[in-house]
Amino acid sequence: AALAELARAKILLVSIRDTPTKDAGKLWPEVKTLVDRAIEIDPTAGEPYFLRAKYKLNANNDPGGAEADFRKGLDLAPNFGPGLRMFAEYLFDRERYDETLTVIDRAILVDPLSAESYYRKGEVLRLGLRGREEAAALYLQALAVKPDFYPAYARLAQVRWNQGRTAEAIKYGERSVA
Give the tens place of pLDDT for each residue, 120-156.
999 999 888 777 788 999 999 999 999 999 999 999 9
Using the predicted structure, report yes or no on whether residue 3 has a pLDDT greater than 80.
Answer: yes
Q: Which of 26-40, 78-92, 96-110, 111-125 bottoms out in mean pLDDT, i.e. has the lowest?
A: 26-40
Using the predicted structure, report yes or no on whether residue 34 has a pLDDT greater than 80.
Answer: yes
Mean per-residue pLDDT over the chain, rounded: 89
Q: What is the pLDDT of residue 20?
A: 52
What does R_g of the chain's alpha carbons equal in angstroms? Answer: 17
Integer distance in angstroms from the first to the last C-alpha of the chain? 35
Using the predicted structure, report yes or no on whether residue 165 has a pLDDT greater than 80.
Answer: yes
Q: Which of 87-101, 123-137, 156-170 bottoms out in mean pLDDT, i.e. has the lowest?
A: 123-137
